[in-house]
Structure 1
């Protein structure tokens, strides 16, 4: 038979079709599957079941990109021109700076973005299919639409499937949808407009079968799957420039224009004054080279690298260097719920019996914790019979297993059942003890239709069983757990605290269940029924023979609990002026409960971008117009039942509102938004490889609180970079202005090009880079985030830079003329002028350790690296001043002590002027 299935069929809403309609649409057989000929034809038509590989930039392009910067263009031109003029030393130094910067940039970029490859690896598995009527195992990339795929517990779903047969099938879709518990599947036909997370008759590529078995028809493969759609979103998401790189790019353009204009003006003035064109041109080149902060790229890289090291010590691993600073500018953190703000481990929080509620301490799968009554008094399982039997039912009517691996407790099986095992273990009823007390004989498995699980056990609990129903000890006992309403339908009585039975108070039980559900807890009921000897045949145990008159023992209410430090971390972020928003694929009630527990719904209505209690679902978002969407997103605190595409749209909307967005997540469904965000933050322990590869930062401890520490480090990095720029620019501007002044005055240059390069390179390394080690200033986490529109340098800092530049020009020019006027040679005068720049820079370095506070207040010796750097620079200056070889290369000459005293006097005067400027501005700020 010739295949007529079209590629467009992958866009059909298969969940809204009956199983036989899907079989007809895809021209397959529900029992025998496709024929070999059909598979071959469809493989040719649709291609392999694999996500397309991404094409990265070639090696040459990646190398050339490192030179794509206006300042680099000027340096390259300057290096070429100086070489043409025979100034080979100058040219070699300039080209050396350019090459070093390019190597650093290339190494950074070589840390490949592997998000797409991570997604592709998710679907590389083997699949069991039925073809030509025979079951066989094939590579998953050989699947085609129409294939009949068989699923069992532990299988990874290899393609998007419309389920046509199943038995107690549950699928863990948390990585795809954010759903915190495995989803029970069925074959029911669903409405077409329904989110992916609610399509119970579908199984999607990359998800994991936890329990049961089933069979499904492949309705989409490769790029056409839901996973393929996420792959497309990840590939399409723009990797945004960070606030720092954006500001540096803008700063570089402005600086380049200013430098070229100044150099052109210098050359023009020289020609108007009939000066030698070659000398004037050389002076203009010297001005351009002097005005460019050659050390800036290296300083940025090293400062960021130091920030990376500091963050690593605080359990945050940075994958892209500029991301260090982005956290310091973050205005909104969009956090996934499951596994990020929560433990991703279902935990029973309350056990309710007719005697009242019992609160459970401890979280996660570790069986450490206690049960307390409503007075806070610890209780044991034997204290109250209904409590004992509720715990026994939860642990014995259970197919999960609790294991410990490398000191970490884990659940094998359904997380809900795992939570019931853990709470029993906290009360001293571990799995081995429960099995010994109640050996299992038969099982009625859970199904979405019956909504309960029942088991038959041999009863060895003669001392604890309520055997007075029949007046003598029980031989067997039936245990049931499931949905509250369904279990209540099976019950006629409920157990009291002392084990006696009394009539079922259905209204009271439903009221208790509603109260617990209102707290965002998932509530299950437990029941039992003792049977007298010979009253029941274990071989006939089934749904039709389930004994009537079950006895309700209690309710168990559970949730995926918030991480211990989540509340304080959210509060700290808000104090720092950062809005925190929860974006999850889970249900609105669950998301709202968690948000309330960690304080997200307590955010003030104005001030940090969220309205108190505002919760939006994916359906709500879909109903918003394009004009309403950005404002609603900015105001809301919680987003529930959100699709991967909507997560991406949320991040884009916040960015359109001017926010710097940090997005946290751990699942495949988070990858597009992680890549789009200003900084993507993935979980290191529980996160998928896809999420980690799409992220800029990985938290090795999966703790949301680590983000707070990373924000603090990021702010410190930005501070230190700003300090470096504020420190280095006066020298570059001053060097350019002093050359311009000499040209305009028709005088000899106070400093030579080689001396300018010496100043720029040595001071940047020995002095400026020491600011990268500057400790974070007090109160850094009480500031508001930097306004994304605020320039790299504020008006106050620009005025300070111009002030220091003027002091450098005036001081060096005055000393140059003084030395000449008092009999010094030209080389000696230039050496004195050069040392003015260096010594003033050294004094100014201490002032720049804080842009607002006095150097004395922060402590002269609180950064020992600065002291070491000044010492190294001093040795270098003595060498260039007094060593004959360096005198020859750099055109310097030894100077006397009188000149040094005048240099120090200029530096002290400049420091006093800067201190006065700081004091004056702080006074203005206080008033």
Structure 2
């Protein structure tokens, strides 16, 4: 029995109800005994998802320090402290602490996602034990329990249905299916996918109508929800393009710095200098070469990107996700509630004598019914249209209201759509008052239609209203209604042809009919056959969001592929994809179903996935594999979604994007970013911001590295020549820290460059620094070293003291950095392209840096602390001339390379 009870529900849907009860040793009337329920609770545990033991605080802190750049900074902090510079050492360790805290907080994301999954099943359940029905916490439900369910309940565990009445379940959060699933208790083939298992109810889903009873086939980790929990736990968050590039850059930088330090030590020892002094000099070189401001620049630039995205209704939960959007090459998006409004809407009304279109979208009451010429329809002039609408609104158990200014529904979305379209013709408000309901024949999967009996006091008769599947309602009809209300011969072929055409457009089609009977007549199902008047067809769909098509087009223009991944039917998915521009030219392989994916050989899988634009009827496992296949081909994947079934893929993707208003908490916790307006169009703006963030980070790195390399080379040259150091280690730290804060960080506020969304995504394999930028950095480093040595020797040769010569060298370094800052505001175009005043932070930072250098040069306290001395006008003129010369050479290099490109 233990093995049976711990099997997943994939086995139970393939068995007859009595076989399941036998295997689970349960009774269809009395359920389990209290003693047996307690025994099974001890044996199989509570009906909750298992909590993985999180890493302790120490492990999580150490994980943040496992970076070459951070390790270099820590060594630099220790060295500066040993050199007797506690202030500089404190600044460096402050930077390390800031990045450690940010990373530590980000580590809570995965645990929060799993906690949200566990919370989804913490409800109450109505169970039958020893023949008595009562409510227990869902945590106490055990395999074999007999559970009673009805409309509005959240399913506490995976149930095999044994009896039911008109039961439907909203499983969109689990399967992606936009329509409520109609349930029955008939055994199904074992290979039936989750979305088509009509005899099962799944933990965490909602019941929209009907009632029933089911035996618990799986609880806790063994449920379908538990399988998703396992997938979320197994899908490790990937490093983002930024973190990968920064890590690689840091490793290269580590090697370069250590190599320079080793060369410095070796050269000095060979020249006969003391080993201790050369070791100190080598450490000073390493300190100078370390870009202390880089970690802070990364964090601040990303934080500014977060703030900008929040203003565009995108909330970022993980800082590197800001930059990841900028390098995204593929967006995998869910359909229901993401590209569509998740609100069924009647689009077409086919009447035997005419065809009408319903304007407006969703459950909002705005819109009209218009004819083919776009003129408002007169329902009083077309009786068939009027009774088609009345049948949809009267033969209906749904209700439409508002909450927080947004339309809400209670009941089946299809019925809500029929209520709304009747309201657009002015009929929904008074249908039940004018035609009060007397009796109901509810919808069932066997009859596939619903019928209601209404009193018609004005006409002194009763009316039977019917709606349902076309192939079931038409055989019940003896004739069809004309526009004038008279009876006409039924033309079933025309109706079926019209229904097929509407279904081919991805619309769900329902037929409506009416029967006028005597005042004392009853509703008799057996008497309906061949007595109804066919009124017409209502065709509906979950419409695309208004901005979806424009957003998809903008993504395509930016070189980003958009792929729809949904659990819905292929026809519906194809219709929506066509409407929003995902299938501009239909080709074989553009649309793949879950069954198609299962049949694909492993060798062909990545190519087929890369080519396709629409994936329909896919399972959570397949969503995850789709993302992994795209990543294996080198794609940077953004995955959008709102359901429980999206959580594993959201976490596996390079960036997971959840819907904030309509999404589940599981999806939000698993995602890196949440769209507060649930609008796919918001992603376009987020991608634009992400590209801007990467640009600004690149600009900071290109700006800061020449100084760090130049400072290291200056020390290396001094050791090689056996000369006095042109710049002291403390002066190097002054340059690095003041310029990083006052100059470099202003680049984080740089506005996005024109045309940023008209260039293709960055190649994920492209390094952080291109060959052209590396050459520019090396060129400026050499220029800094040459200019500094010339000025240093010129000053000494002119009778200046060693302190004055070093002060001139320090100010020259800063002067070149100031002018180079303006050049770095755009890396491949003239500065005038972005405008001198477009970033006022740069101007403010330059002004503060000038004041800081004046203080370093002329304040006695700083002269004493940093070994500087006041300078004369002649020296300042030399500093200005050399700075302008270096900036001019860089500008010429940029212009020549831009022309070549």
User: TM class by shorter-chain length?
Assistant: over 0.9
Which residue of the partner structure matches residue 842 of structure 1?
818
Aligned with 1:410: secondary structure? strand
Which residue of the partner structure matches residue 690 of structure 1?
666
Aligned with 2:661: secondary structure? coil
Which residue of the partner structure matches residue 341 of structure 1?
339
The answer to whether the 8 Å contact 1:601/1:613 transfers is no
Aligned with 1:663: secondary structure? strand
The answer to whether the 8 Å contact 2:478/2:531 transfers is yes
Whether 2:470 is the aligned partner of 1:484: answer yes
- Deviation of 1:98 (Å): 2.9
Whether 2:773 is the aligned partner of 1:797: answer yes
Which residue of the partner structure matches residue 812 of structure 1?
788
Which whole-Å CA distance do the structure 2 matches of 1:794 and 1:211 have between them? 60
Whether 2:572 is the aligned partner of 1:590: answer yes
The answer to whether the 8 Å contact 1:667/1:691 transfers is yes
Which whole-Å CA distance do the structure 1 matches of 2:458 and 2:43 have between them? 64
1:71-102 residue CA offsets vs partner (Å, 9 max, x unmatched): 22223223334434545455444434433443
The answer to whether the 8 Å contact 2:330/2:638 transfers is yes
Which whole-Å CA distance do the structure 2 matches of 1:4 and 1:749 have between them? 78
Which whole-Å CA distance do the structure 1 matches of 2:378 and 2:257 have between them? 79
Q: How does 1:273-352 map to 2 (within 5 A)?
A: 273-352=271-350
Whether 2:737 is the aligned partner of 1:761: answer yes
Q: 1:111 to 1:188 in 2, by over 3 A?
A: closer
Which residue of the partner structure matches residue 603 of structure 2?
627
Whether 2:546 is the aligned partner of 1:564: answer yes
Normalising to structure 2: TM-score of the pair?
0.98
Which whole-Å CA distance do the structure 2 matches of 1:363 and 1:792 have between them? 46
1:275-326 residue CA offsets vs partner (Å, 9 max, x unmatched): 2323222211111011111100000000000000000000000000000000
- Deviation of 1:485 (Å): 1.0
Which whole-Å CA distance do the structure 2 matches of 1:592 and 1:97 have between them? 51
Aligned with 1:66: secondary structure? helix
Aligned with 1:161: secondary structure? strand
Aligned with 1:443: secondary structure? strand
The answer to whether the 8 Å contact 1:734/1:805 transfers is yes
Whether 2:434 is the aligned partner of 1:447: answer no
Which whole-Å CA distance do the structure 1 matches of 2:619 and 2:105 have between them? 36
Which residue of the partner structure matches residue 511 of structure 2?
525
1:714 to 690, 699, 717: 690
Which residue of the partner structure matches residue 885 of structure 1?
861
- Deviation of 1:110 (Å): 5.3
Which whole-Å CA distance do the structure 1 matches of 2:38 and 2:109 have between them? 39
The answer to whether the 8 Å contact 1:5/1:27 transfers is no
The answer to whether the 8 Å contact 2:449/2:467 transfers is yes
1:195 to 181, 193, 196: 193
Which residue of the partner structure matches residue 917 of structure 1?
893
Which residue of the partner structure matches residue 844 of structure 2?
868
Aligned with 1:30: secondary structure? coil
The answer to whether the 8 Å contact 2:6/2:222 transfers is no
Q: How does 1:93-492 map to 2 (within 5 A)?
A: 93-109=91-107, 113-431=111-429, 433-460=430-457, 462=459, 474-492=460-478
Which residue of the partner structure matches residue 467 of structure 1?
none
Q: 1:86 to 1:765 in 2, by over 3 A?
A: closer
Aligned with 2:133: secondary structure? strand
Which whole-Å CA distance do the structure 2 matches of 1:184 and 1:150 have between them? 17
Which whole-Å CA distance do the structure 1 matches of 2:87 and 2:15 have between them? 77
The answer to whether the 8 Å contact 1:452/1:483 transfers is yes
Which whole-Å CA distance do the structure 2 matches of 1:717 and 1:95 have between them? 25
Aligned with 1:411: secondary structure? strand
Which whole-Å CA distance do the structure 1 matches of 2:131 and 2:893 have between them? 87
1:618-638 residue CA offsets vs partner (Å, 9 max, x unmatched): 011011111111111111010
Which whole-Å CA distance do the structure 1 matches of 2:2 and 2:880 have between them? 89
Q: How does 1:541-560 map to 2 (within 5 A)?
A: 541-546=523-528, 548-560=530-542
Which residue of the partner structure matches residue 491 of structure 2?
505
- Deviation of 1:16 (Å): 0.9
Aligned with 2:128: secondary structure? strand
1:766-798 residue CA offsets vs partner (Å, 9 max, x unmatched): 001111111101110011100000000110111
The runs of 5 or more residues in structure 1 that have no matched partner are 463-473, 606-610
The answer to whether the 8 Å contact 1:612/1:637 transfers is no
Which residue of the partner structure matches residue 469 of structure 1?
none
- Deviation of 1:546 (Å): 3.4
Aligned with 1:680: secondary structure? strand
Aligned with 1:214: secondary structure? strand
Moved more, 89-98 or 660-669: 89-98
- Deviation of 1:104 (Å): 4.0
- Deviation of 1:419 (Å): 0.2
Which whole-Å CA distance do the structure 2 matches of 1:791 and 1:511 have between them? 58
Which whole-Å CA distance do the structure 2 matches of 1:12 and 1:881 have between them? 78
Whether 2:633 is the aligned partner of 1:657: answer yes
1:334-384 residue CA offsets vs partner (Å, 9 max, x unmatched): 000000000000000001101221011111100110111111212132231
Moved more, 421-430 or 517-526: 421-430
Aligned with 2:250: secondary structure? helix
Which residue of the partner structure matches residue 668 of structure 1?
644
Normalising to structure 1: TM-score of the pair?
0.96
The answer to whether the 8 Å contact 1:113/1:694 transfers is no
Q: 1:351 to 1:632 in 2, by over 3 A?
A: same
Aligned with 1:658: secondary structure? coil
- Deviation of 1:751 (Å): 0.5
Aligned with 1:600: secondary structure? coil
The runs of 5 or more residues in structure 2 that have no matched partner are none
Aligned with 2:466: secondary structure? strand
Which whole-Å CA distance do the structure 1 matches of 2:5 and 2:723 have between them? 79
Which residue of the partner structure matches residue 557 of structure 2?
575
1:820-859 residue CA offsets vs partner (Å, 9 max, x unmatched): 1101111111110011111110100000000111112321
The answer to whether the 8 Å contact 1:51/1:223 transfers is yes
Q: 1:211 to 1:354 in 2, by over 3 A?
A: same
Which residue of the partner structure matches residue 471 of structure 1?
none
Which residue of the partner structure matches residue 465 of structure 1?
none
The answer to whether the 8 Å contact 1:154/1:208 transfers is yes
Aligned with 1:167: secondary structure? strand
- Deviation of 1:542 (Å): 3.3
Which whole-Å CA distance do the structure 2 matches of 1:94 and 1:376 have between them? 70
Which whole-Å CA distance do the structure 1 matches of 2:687 and 2:283 have between them? 42
Which residue of the partner structure matches residue 895 of structure 1?
871
Q: 1:134 to 1:629 in 2, by over 3 A?
A: same
Which whole-Å CA distance do the structure 1 matches of 2:323 and 2:627 have between them? 19
Which whole-Å CA distance do the structure 2 matches of 1:726 and 1:81 have between them? 26
Which whole-Å CA distance do the structure 1 matches of 2:83 and 2:891 have between them? 43
The answer to whether the 8 Å contact 2:475/2:530 transfers is no
The answer to whether the 8 Å contact 2:746/2:841 transfers is yes
2:724 to 744, 748, 762: 748
The answer to whether the 8 Å contact 1:766/1:870 transfers is yes
1:635-660 residue CA offsets vs partner (Å, 9 max, x unmatched): 10100000001000000000000000
Which whole-Å CA distance do the structure 1 matches of 2:836 and 2:70 have between them? 36
Which whole-Å CA distance do the structure 1 matches of 2:865 and 2:99 have between them? 25
